[in-house]
Copies of this chain bind each other. A is one copy, B any other.
Amino acid sequence: MGGDHGCAVVVEGVRRALEADTKISTLFLVGDQAEIESALVATGCHDLRVQIVHASEVVTMNDRPVTALRKKRDSSIGRGAELVHDGQADAVISLGNTGGIFTAATFKLGRITGVDRGCIATIIPRQENEFVLLDAGANIECKPLHLAQFAVMGSVYSREVLGYKKPRVGILSIGTEDSKGNELTLEAFKLCKQLDLNFIGNIEGHDLFKDHVDVVVCDGFVGNIVLKTCESLAVAVFSMLKRELVRNPKRQIGAYLAKNAFQAIRRRMDPEVHGGAPLLGFNGMVFKAHGSSRERAIASALRVTADAVQHRVNEIIAREIVSANEKLAAAGISIPASA
């Protein structure tokens, strides 16, 4: 219910995903029953794997997540998370309020044993491949242990879902030397060195798009700013390009001939293809798709999330977090009881 383009676009994405994917056994569409039914009719989706779960309320973009989850007892994101909690579904995908999804994951699913903070991992495309940035905004103030656990979870996701054999993990800082960083990153650096990671140390903003690092770890404040800055700059460059290319007929002809080149890059950077973010550390897979997702992005979110379930990402995270916590405890680092 939370997408910008309404229910029918989501349903059409679902239809396409189901057509392509035989491994999904049941697909619950959670939200206003009447609206979903008419979208199913409109898109001609008759797949028997689809089940509607009615939910009468929506957590909107203007809602305060915690309050909304408490007050709107029949919200679609709440109901979706409950399906996972009750074991009826393996994963929940939402296009809605990110805070709402994170809150639903925290309260309805709970964290994997040993995980002190769940996080949002965002997948950012670059020339040849893509990297994971986490946390992308859920945890504004972090402790070193959180960053170390993000490193473990991001590494698992990168390996199991994105297919990187030995994901290179770096801490986003302001210099590559071990001694560069703020209090948080310097401590997190020490923890990461203790762990079974392909830890390459500190990385800088310069390194992000250079294929130097596959998993970029930072607190949610920095991560959110970096993510949004990248989106904003990419849009700005394309808009400048467009303006310059129509300035005179010669350029216009040039642009027409080179059209496919621009389209290739746009596709490469397109949130429609790569966009969306798994929430990691919860008992159940949770995936946040862009609010602006259209059919293709919905289908892609379904495919990626089904992949993550298939690869038992959460079981692996659970195992590796336990082992990471043990290593850290053995090195004298105290693991809070909440983890």
Which residues of A pack against B, CB within 8 Å?
126-127, 137, 140-141, 172-174, 181-183, 204-210, 220-222, 224-237, 239-241, 243-245, 247, 250-251, 253-262, 264-265, 268-269
B260-A240 in contact (CB<8A): no
Pick the contact of A182: B141, B181, B256, B257 (CB < 8 A).
Answer: B141
User: From residue A230, how far is it (CB to closest CB) to chain B in Å?
Assistant: 6
**A240-B268, A241-B261, A259-B254 in contact; A205/B234 too (CB < 8 A)?**
no
- List the number of copies, as a whole number: 2
Residue of B at shortest CB range from A221? Answer: B182
B141-A183 in contact (CB<8A): yes
Residues of B within 8 A of A237 (CB): 234, 237, 265, 269
B261-A247 in contact (CB<8A): yes
**A172-B225, A220-B174, A261-B255 in contact; A205/B232 too (CB < 8 A)?**
yes
- Beyond known contacts A209-B232, A233-B233, A253-B257: 16 more, CB 8 A cutoff: A126-B236, A127-B239, A140-B182, A173-B225, A174-B220, A174-B221, A174-B224, A205-B231, A208-B232, A221-B222, A237-B237, A240-B265, A241-B265, A253-B254, A254-B259, A257-B257
Kindly state the separation between the CA atoms of A241 and B262 in the bound complex, as whole angstroms: 7
- Most chain B CB within 10 A, of A172, A208, A226, A237, is at A237
Kindly state the separation between the CA atoms of A298 and B231 in the bound complex, as whole angstroms: 31
Residues of B within 8 A of A208 (CB): 229, 232-233
Residue of B at shortest CB range from A241? Answer: B265
Residues of B within 8 A of A250 (CB): 257-258
Kindly state the separation between the CA atoms of A233 and B228 in the bound complex, as whole angstroms: 12
Q: Can you give 21 contacting A-B residue pairs, CB < 8 Å?
A: A127-B239, A127-B243, A140-B181, A141-B182, A174-B220, A181-B221, A182-B221, A204-B228, A205-B226, A205-B229, A206-B229, A209-B232, A209-B235, A225-B225, A241-B265, A244-B262, A250-B258, A254-B256, A254-B261, A255-B261, A257-B257
Residue of B at shortest CB range from A257? Answer: B254
Residues of B within 8 A of A262 (CB): 241, 244
Residue of B at shortest CB range from A207? Answer: B232
